[in-house]
């Protein structure tokens, strides 16, 4: 009996480790998976096709409201139409200065850094031979839109403005700007700078990733100390009404610029952050200097109330991932095939309407197009859409499962690191519980066996005494 119990215990423990039981269920009953299905790329602009009924009416040639986390465009008009960006060109110049210079670097002013700027443009008033810090120049560019400050930064970085504009265009392309071309670093009306609301949103978004940009852009006033040529300090005041006035003050504003160009009208670039969610707004070709501020506030408020950005948590999708692998392997039982490799790629965020989010959603995978050739000996690769299905019928592709099916002779471990912590913990707990239960049974059985053995020995002893 003792040997039998030991054998039973060993067998059960071995079975628990080698053949772990996994209960799986995958919902693949999609009611017409093509109906309302939005791809990851389409999700970035899909909201433009169905704006909220209470969306604000914005004046201007073009405008955009952009969600920085997901990259989604919430609201907009003519977002890719090329226009003159005017003084908000300076955003790219300041971005490159922050990326390529130290704030405490000193710039020694030369004539090309201020000669040629039109008389009606704002300037800091630097002169040849004056030594000015990069910090002061950036403050001047952001708070007063000073054009000579931008020329100083451009020539400090590249040696000549013409070389610097090449750097501007290269950096714009790296940010994803496809309709932007700069030939001037500060927004001269007489040159052919062109950009779009969408592209300028990408540039401002990159600017606001720099804490120094946010700190400087939202400063009410900066005092520039005396230089080697002028002992008097200069006060640089923020002309942006989000900062300089109470009427248009906006608590969530984190930086931007305004501009004006003859024939192009007024422009404004602004970013806001509320509860960790950053929105970027651009209005180009506005007809009114004051109205662009109220329009921008209306855009931000609509963005924060009418739209929601949801983080895509990979851990939430791991049970679905594991279940899908098991379902495919179950379907392949009796064949020479099995899943050999697998991985999951997910978007980081999904932005949709707040009303849609309130209705609820479910996660699933679309297996409708997975057809495995069981007669093939070649590896077969599949990209299976991962869906978030909202209860109003709108379905978003939020990721993809990469599956490789091959012959079992070549079978390898399927991304064990992808297994969720809970599944691993559950398996360990089950194993421990089974072992403990078996140990208790074993101890109890041994106690009974020992008790019976003692009784038998006692009887045998008594019987021998009687015989004597």
pLDDT tens, the chain, 468 aa long: 444 444 443 443 333 333 332 222 333 333 343 556 899 999 999 999 989 999 999 999 999 999 999 999 999 999 999 999 999 999 999 999 999 999 999 999 999 999 999 988 999 999 999 999 999 999 999 999 999 999 999 999 999 999 999 999 999 999 999 999 999 999 988 778 999 999 999 999 999 999 999 999 999 999 999 999 999 999 999 999 999 999 999 999 999 999 998 878 999 999 999 999 999 999 999 999 999 999 999 999 999 999 999 999 999 999 999 999 999 999 999 899 999 999 999 999 999 999 999 999 999 999 988 999 999 989 999 999 999 999 999 999 999 999 999 998 754 444 444 444 554 566 567 778 878 888 888 878 778 877 777 777 666 656 655 545
Whether residue 43 is contained in a domain is answered as no
Residue 150 lies in a domain: yes
pLDDT at 27: 34
Q: In CATH, what number is assigned to the domain containing residue 402?
A: 3.10.129
Would you state the pLDDT for residue 25? 30
Beta bridge partners of 268: 258, 283
H or E stretch including 363? strand 361-365
d(CA 281, CA 198): 9
204 and 274 together in one domain = yes
Let me know if 175 is exposed, middle or buried by CB neighbors in 10 A (0-12, 13-18, 19+): middle
C-alpha R_g of the chain: 34
Q: Are 104 and 75 in contact (CB under 8 A)?
A: no
In a domain, 33, yes or no: no
Question: Same structural domain for residues 69 and 187?
Answer: yes
> Residue 204's domain is classified under what CATH number?
3.40.710.10
CA pair distance 222, 353, nearest whole angstrom: 40
Q: How far is 253 from 247, CA to CA, in rounded Å? A: 14
Domain-embedded: residue 209: yes
Contact 380, 369 (CB under 8 A): no
**How many angstroms separate the CA atoms of 37 and 16, rounded?**
42
Q: Which residues, listed in sequence order, are joined to residue 404 by a DSSP beta bridge?
A: 341, 381
* 460 and 391 share one domain: no
Q: Where are the alpha helices (DSSP H) in 175-237?
A: 197-207, 211-217
- Structural contact between residues 367 and 384, judged by C-beta atoms closer than 8 angstroms: yes
Element (H, E) at 265: strand 265-274
Structural domain includes residue 36: no
Spatial contact of 279 and 300, defined as CB atoms under 8 Å apart: yes
Q: Are residues 3 and 83 in the same domain?
A: no
Q: Are residues 302 and 316 in the same domain?
A: no
Distance CA 205, CA 455 (A): 86
Query: Are 236 and 171 part of one and the same domain?
Result: yes
10 Å Cβ neighbour count for 380? 16
Strand partners, 339: 405
Report d(CA 166, CA 185) in Å as an integer.
10
In a domain, 37, yes or no: no
Considering the domain architecture, whether residues 128 and 255 belong to the same structural domain is answered as: yes
Q: Does residue 132 sit within a domain? A: yes
State whether 394 and 407 are in the same domain.
yes
- Do 184 and 230 reside in the same domain of the chain? yes
- Residue 468 CB-density burial (10 A; 0-12 exposed, 13-18 middle, 19+ buried): exposed
The angle that helices 147-158 and 161-174 make with each other, rounded to 10 degrees, is 90
Which of 307, 325, 360 is a domain's end point? Answer: 307
Residue 458, pLDDT score:
67
Strand ranges (E), 112-264: 131-133, 221-224, 234-237, 253-261
From CA 148, how far away is CA 276, in angstroms rounded?
35
Provide the Cα torsion 93, 44, 260, 295; round to 10°.
-130
- 320, 465: one domain: no
Domain boundary among 307, 338, 369: 307
Instruction: Give the pairing of strands 395-407 and 37-38.
Output: parallel
The rounded distance, in Å, linking the Cα atoms of 76 and 83 is: 15
**How many structural domains does the chain have?**
3
- Domain limits at 18? 1-25+428-468
CA dist 92 and 94 (Å) reads 5
Domain C-terminal end among 307, 336, 359: 307
Q: Say whether both 249 and 228 belong to one domain.
A: yes
Model pTM greater than 0.85?
no
35 found inside a domain: no
Residues 98 and 114 in one domain: yes
pLDDT of residue 465: 54
């Amino acid at each position: 009996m003792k040997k039998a119990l030991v054998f039973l215990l060993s067998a059960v423990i071995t079975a628990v480790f080698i053949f772990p039981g996994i209960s799986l269920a995958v919902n693949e009953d999609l009611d017409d998976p093509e109906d309302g299905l939005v791809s990851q790329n389409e999700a970035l602009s899909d909201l433009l096709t169905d704006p909220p009924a209470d969306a604000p009416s914005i004046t201007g040639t073009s405008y955009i409201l952009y969600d920085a986390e997901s990259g989604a465009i919430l609201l907009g008009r003519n977002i890719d139409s090329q226009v003159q960006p005017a003084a908000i060109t300076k955003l790219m110049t300041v971005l490159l200065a922050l990326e390529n210079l130290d704030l405490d670097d000193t710039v020694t002013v030369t004539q090309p850094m201020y000669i040629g700027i039109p008389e009606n443009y704002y300037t800091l008033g630097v002169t040849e031979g004056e030594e000015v810090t990069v910090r002061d120049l950036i403050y001047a560019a952001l708070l007063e839109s000073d054009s000579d400050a931008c020329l100083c930064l451009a020539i400090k970085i590249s040696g000549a403005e013409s070389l610097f504009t090449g750097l501007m265009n290269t950096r714009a392309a790296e940010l994803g700007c496809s309709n932007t071309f700069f030939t001037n670093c500060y927004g001269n009306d007489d040159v052919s700078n062109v950009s779009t609301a969408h592209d300028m949103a990408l540039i401002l978004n990159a600017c606001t990733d720099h804490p120094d940009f946010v700190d400087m852009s939202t400063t009410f006033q900066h005092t520039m100390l005396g230089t080697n040529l002028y002992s008097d300090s200069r006060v640089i005041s923020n002309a942006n009404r989000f900062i300089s006035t109470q009427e248009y003050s906006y608590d969530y504003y984190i930086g931007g610029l305004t501009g004006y160009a003859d024939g192009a009208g007024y422009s404004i670039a602004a970013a806001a952050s509320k509860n960790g969610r950053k929105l970027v707004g651009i209005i180009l070709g506005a007809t009114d200097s004051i109205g662009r501020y109220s329009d921008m506030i209306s855009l931000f408020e609509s963005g924060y109330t009418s739209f929601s950005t949801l983080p895509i948590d990979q851990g939430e999708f791991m049970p679905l991932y594991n279940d899908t692998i098991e379902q495919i392997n179950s379907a392949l039982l009796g064949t020479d095939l099995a899943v050999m490799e697998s991985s999951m790629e997910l978007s980081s965020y999904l932005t949709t309407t707040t009303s849609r989010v309130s209705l609820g959603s479910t996660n699933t995978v679309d297996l409708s197009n997975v057809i495995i050739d069981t007669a093939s000996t070649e590896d077969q690769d599949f990209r299976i859409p991962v869906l978030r299905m909202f209860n109003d019928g709108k379905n978003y592709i939020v990721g993809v499962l990469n599956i490789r099916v091959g012959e079992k002779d070549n079978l390898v471990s399927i991304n064990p690191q992808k297994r969720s912590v809970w599944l691993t913990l559950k398996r360990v707990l089950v194993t421990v519980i089974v072992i403990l239960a078996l140990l208790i049974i074993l101890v109890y059985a041994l106690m009974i066996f020992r008790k019976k053995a003692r009784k038998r020995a006692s009887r045998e002893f008594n019987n021998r005494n009687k015989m004597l």
